[in-house]
Structure 1
Amino acid sequence: MVKRVLSVGQCVPDTSSLMRFLTSHFDVEIDQSDVETDTLEKLKASEYDLVLINRKLDADYSDGIELIQKIRATSEIKPSPLMLVSNYPEYQEQAVEVGAVYGIGKDQYRDPQTAARLKPYLG
């Protein structure tokens, strides 16, 4: 069964890398969102198996951790696993503190542990 992923706030090169990584390891359909308002609307309208949120949204440089908090505080959104996309463990820990699961870094796509971390949601 095809799993649905929402990728939030990635720049064009990162989107390309992320899509290549995800589609090479999993049977996924990937939607994209650039800013908070579009993200919240998509999450209200549809369910996703995983939401990958950049630490800083490329379009407006807003904070991904703050977006995770807003998603968790919006009652019209059905719970989906949220992951921060960041190479920095301290930001991953902050994201977990506000309701995300431990995420992945952009420089970790070749690491077998990265696919293993996503398998519970996309496998």
Structure 2
Amino acid sequence: MTTVLDIGNCNADHFFITTMLKSNFDANVLRAHGADDALTTLEENEVDLIMINRLLDVDHSEGMDVFRKIKSNPKFESIPAMLITNFDDHQKAAMEEGAVQGFGKSALTSDSVVAVVKDALSSS
């Protein structure tokens, strides 16, 4: 079974992302709200894909800071990670730092999001 770690999404967005992942990939979806609980979750579970919200739900800090902290740990650097954002400039900046192509929540129900996630999972 595929396992995805969703970081920094509010309850509603987490629900919709989880629904999409379970219906298209039969995925187990784990949840974290920031870097510390994300790192703990990664230590305790084998994760195939990391999805990080552009702005974290709890404190509105930058999701890229969480991305950098995760990727700085050699144990987790090979796990594909994506930024969830509707802003192309943020998506491009994330990819320049090593993220895989992500998506915006406004497109969550589109076939293109399923394709993006499928591509990310195939890179794990």
Q: What is the TM-score when the length of structure 2 is the normalising length?
A: 0.90
Tell me what 1:86 maps to: 85
Query: Percent identity between the aligned chains?
Result: 33
Alignment partners' CA distance in 1, 2:110 and 2:89: 19
- With 105-114 and 48-57 compared, the bigger mean Cα shift is at 105-114
Superposition pairs for residues 1-123 of structure 1, below 5 Å? 2-77=1-76, 79-120=78-119, 121=121
Alignment partners' CA distance in 2, 1:73 and 1:113: 29
Write the letter of the residue equivalent to 1:42: T
Write the letter of the residue equivalent to 1:106: K
RMSD over aligned CA atoms reads 1.4
Deviations 1:23-46 (A, max 9, x none): 121110000001111111222333
Alignment partners' CA distance in 2, 1:66 and 1:106: 20
Alignment partners' CA distance in 2, 1:73 and 1:111: 32
Q: CA deviation at 1:78?
A: 5.2
What's the secondary structure of 1:114's corresponding residue?
helix
Q: How many residues align?
A: 121
Structure 1, unaligned runs of 5 or more: none
Is the 8 Å Cα contact of residues 70 and 77 (structure 2) preserved in structure 1? no
Alignment partners' CA distance in 2, 1:113 and 1:78: 26
What's the secondary structure of 2:114's corresponding residue?
helix
Structure 2, unaligned runs of 5 or more: none
What's the secondary structure of 2:83's corresponding residue?
strand
Q: What is the TM-score when the length of structure 1 is the normalising length?
A: 0.91
What's the secondary structure of 2:58's corresponding residue?
coil
